[in-house]
Amino acid sequence: MKRFLKILLVAACLFAFTILWYWADDQDYFQSNYNDLTEQQKEIFNWRSNVDNFDLAQVYKQHFADTEYIFPRQQVSKIKLFKNIPIISVFTGKTLRQNQVDYFLKFCNDTANFDWGETTWGLNEAEYFIRLYNSEDKVVGKIYFCLADCGQIDAKPFSPSMKFGMLSTIGLYKINQFINDKDQWE
């Protein structure tokens, strides 16, 4: 009986540790360094009940060229692609070749790759996510991609150039090509 309780206790501890590790990894808890918007900046892009999507889109458009809102608002030295599989995703990472980092950042900041569609989906529906790292190996940006079913993204930190988070037809084609091109990844 004591042996069974010890085994049960060890299993429970391992399970709790695994869940805690998954949560910390998913939140980038130990390695995040996002340059999020200030409260004043958030107020500019805040949706209110008296503002319709057209008016909000106009606000976004006014800030497309503002360098303070370029994604991810920090220098990026490394980008990693992960399959969005709970707990296992940390083992599926592929690093983008250094000569492709600028291409990916240009993709993220090109408004032609995004559309104004409504985005109602959960992060668990995403097939992939990408983490962007600075030279100190801190996560400075993260994008979830729901490609097959919905063509939408969720990015942190916020950037108005990504509009409401829906990929345009061109953007969906480009990102699918980019992710599936094995020559781009180490």
pLDDT digits (tens, 9 = 90+) for 118-157: 777 888 889 999 999 999 989 999 999 999 878 999 999 9
Q: How many CB atoms lie within 10 A of CB 70?
A: 16
Q: Is the pLDDT at 52 greater than 90, yes or no? A: no
- pLDDT on residue 90: 75
